[in-house]
Amino acid sequence: MSVGLSIHDLMTPVAVIDETIMENNIKVAQDYFDRIGRNFRPHVKTHKIPALAALQTAAGAKGINCQKISEAEVFADAGFTDILITFNMLGAARLERLKALNARVDLQVVADNSVVVDALAGRFDADRPLKVLVECDTGGGRNGVQTPSDAMQLAERIDACAGLVFHGLLTYPKAASEAAVEAFLAETVGLLKQAGLECPVVSHGGSPSLFDSDLVSSATEHRAGTYIFNDRAMMRAGMCDLDDCAMQVLATVVSRPTETRAVLDAGSKALTSDLLGFTDHGLLVDYPDASIVSLNEEHAIVDLSGSARKPQIGDQVRIVPNHTCVVSNLFEKLVFHRDGVVTRIETVAARGKVV
């Protein structure tokens, strides 16, 4: 165990989490939702660690959000009982596991089409019905029914199934489009009311939309994952500052082949190739004018031509990743620290749970 060591004495690459920043991120988000009187359901895909979800629920979060059945099972095994899985589920083996999970926790799932609804209906029954939210595409361009009347129709189809309970609406919005999201949801809620269909949950989402959630007044809950650590994409979106980024990847300069090229021991298997619209692969905190111009699997190529200060071989560098959620998934363990002293090491328990 490395507890008590300096994080700078660990083997690199390593993903380290500043506990103080993380705790503040949890508190600031929960305070916001407490203030606007809305449930907050953290998405655990960002960290995949039950001990962190426990901090989020202890702060006041209502349940957790998982993305896949295998991820949800890890958190159910860890004692979480209020779980939403925000992914259409199909296939006999998956539905079998879903039924077993529904028997032991308070489970909600989503559907955005009749094939999924009918598959769920064929596997669940009135003894232990499954709660289903209708996923709505309010502009995000991913999953979701396209119109309020389509949402209404699917809700009625769910409501007609003995094994299913229509439980509400869900959307993963396009960023900064609160008015369009609210218009879609409000119209759908109105249609449901006219039809006499109860709609206990209207679930809105996303870290980029977190502090504007109050503008979507129809929503009853908000889901977000990235906010717990924050990252370079969240900084660019104006949602946080560098001091709010709890995760850094520490790497070592292992080569300086030329005056303007440094090579780090962290590549796409540590930082991922996720660009999220950036043209380079992470923020070098101590060398902001240097750029990680390309990644191989275990090498980062850094262009130092714009940087007056140039790191030497053996120097450690700190990287704020473009996208924190994919970095967690690449490491077997995350290292936590306060002021650079290791406080604990947590296994990424749901790492690689993609089914």
* Residues at the site binding its own copies, with contacts judged by CB under 8 A: 9-14, 45, 67-68, 87-91, 93-94, 112-113, 115-116, 119, 137, 141-146, 252, 254-258, 261, 263, 265-266, 268-270, 272-275, 296-299, 301, 312-314, 325-326, 329-332, 351-352, 354-355
The least CB distance from residue 234 to its own copies, in Å, is 15
Minimum CB separation from its own copies for residue 114, in Å?
9
Q: Toward its own copies, which CB reaches closer, 24 or 252?
A: 252
| Torsion sign over Cα 282, 283, 285, 286 | positive
Q: Which residue has the tokens 């940087």?
A: 307
Q: Give the residue among 192, 216, 191, 193 at the shortest CA–CA distance from 205.
A: 216
Residue 200 or 352 having the CB closest to its own copies? 352
Q: Which is nearer to its own copies, 123 or 299 (CB)?
A: 299
Distance CA 44, CA 197 (A): 30
Whether the upstream peptide bond of residue 13 has omega within 30° of 0, thus cis, is yes
Q: Which is nearer to its own copies, 62 or 94 (CB)?
A: 94
CB of 334 to its own copies, least distance (A): 12
Instruction: Give the residue with the Cβ less far from its own copies, 127 or 259.
Output: 259
- Tell me how far, at minimum, the Cβ of 311 lies from its own copies, in Å: 12
CA–CA distance, 158 with 152 (Å, rounded to integer): 10
**Shortest spacing between CB 205 and its own copies, in angstroms:** 12
Which residue, 38 or 353, is less far from its own copies as judged by CB?
353
Do residues 231 and 320 touch, judged by C-beta distance below 8 A?
Answer: yes
The strand pair at 300-303 and 261-264 is best described as antiparallel
Nearest distance from C-beta of residue 214 to its own copies, angstroms:
25
Q: Which is nearer to its own copies, 167 or 351 (CB)?
A: 351
Q: Pick from 250, 211, 226, 258: which is nearest to 326 by CA? A: 226
Backbone dihedral region for residue 104 (phi beyond 0: left; psi -120 to 50: alpha; all else: beta): alpha
In whole angstroms, how close is the CB of 317 to its own copies at the nearest point?
13
Cα separation, 276 vs 251, whole angstroms: 21
Helix extents (H) in 45-194? 50-58, 69-77, 92-102, 114-121, 148-159, 178-194
